Amino acid sequence: MNSSFAISNAITLACIYGTLAIGLSLTWSSLGLVNMAYGFVFALSGYGAWLVAVNISDWSPVVLAAGILTGALGGVLVCAAAFIPIHDKPNFPLRALIATLAISLVGNQMLLWYFGPRAKSLPRLFGNWNADIFGVIITSDKLGASFSAIVLLTVVLLWMRSSRRGLEIRAMMMNPHAASIVGIGVRRTGFYVMALTGGLAGLASVLLAQTYYVAPFSGITPMVKGLSIALVGGLGSVPGAVIGAILLGINEALTSTLLGGQYVLITQFLLIIIVLLIRPRGIAGILDKAREA
């Protein structure tokens, strides 16, 4: 295994896991919900994209859109089942954690029951070519995956900065109580947030399926990685999640070239523990100049 392969691999994975981390982070900070069903939404949207690719069209934009839409639908389902009924009851964070975990287990078993244990592969969305950047050979799927993740994430983040809906979501993230005072409906915003983050999971799912496969339990590892990136970045902070993704991506590349691929998870969690020992609020604790109260 050469180092340029490992580096390009790490960058691609950082982009995809970073997308998941931002999704988890947004959900946590706006709804106060650690979405353990995110891995299920991830796998579900992989199957949605696969169904469309097999039955309707395998043109790449259609497959990508199918994945994102299935993800958004999955997010809305999770919201309806695990947020709406319990969000104003006592002890909500713990209940939501259990509810989303239950959805994840049930959902994954249903995927296994319906689609069977055999992994499905999506069509190659970005063709079959190689790019030579400064002597580093990068395959089309990695370049395409990184590029589309970065472009779509930028679009989403710019939209959140500039639009009324974006302001609504950001206001919910910072102070849900004040948000209701200015006329923002918590339950409706919950659906928007979950659809948005579900769509991000769908995007990540289709992109990751370019290098891996779609399988009933394919969402678990990406969710764990996304969650750890979100934790390193500081839950609730988008720039923190981006920096966390880059940090863990570099760590993954360095570990797999210097030590070997089997040590990646060990060094990754060591890094997370060190960061959280120094900055309990994650990297965002350094970035955040505006403090509460």
Partner 1 sequence: MSGNAERQTILDVNGLSAGWGPMRVIHDLDLKVFSGERIGLVGLNGHGKSTLFLAIAGLTGWQRGSILLNGHQVGRTRSQGPGRYTHLVVRRGLALIPQGDEIFHGLTVEEHLDSGAFTKRAWAERAPRKKKILRIFPPLEKLMKIPVGRLSGGERRMVAIGRGLMADAELFLVDEPSLGLAPKIGKSVVEALMAVELGSSAMVIAEQNIALLEGRVDRIIGMHAGKLKGEASKGFKSGTA
Q: Which residues in this chain contact partner 1 in the complex, by CB under 8 A? A: 88-89, 164, 167-168, 170-171, 173-175, 177-187, 288-293
Q: Least distance (Å) from partner 1 to the CB of residue 88?
A: 5
Neighbours of 39 (CB within 10 A): 26
Q: Least distance (Å) from partner 1 to the CB of residue 56?
A: 37
Closer residue to partner 1, CB minimum distance, 133 or 178: 178
Closer residue to partner 1, CB minimum distance, 82 or 253: 82
Longest dimension (CA), the chain: 58
Closer residue to partner 1, CB minimum distance, 54 or 174: 174
Cα(94)–Cα(33) distance, integer angstroms: 9
Closer residue to partner 1, CB minimum distance, 250 or 287: 287
Gap between the terminal Cα atoms of the chain: 51
Q: Least distance (Å) from partner 1 to the CB of residue 187?
A: 7
Cα(176)–Cα(166) distance, integer angstroms: 14
Q: Least distance (Å) from partner 1 to the CB of residue 291?
A: 6
Q: Least distance (Å) from partner 1 to the CB of residue 179?
A: 8
Q: How long, in residues, is the chain?
A: 293
Cβ 286 vs Cβ 279: under 8 Å: yes
Closer residue to partner 1, CB minimum distance, 121 or 175: 175
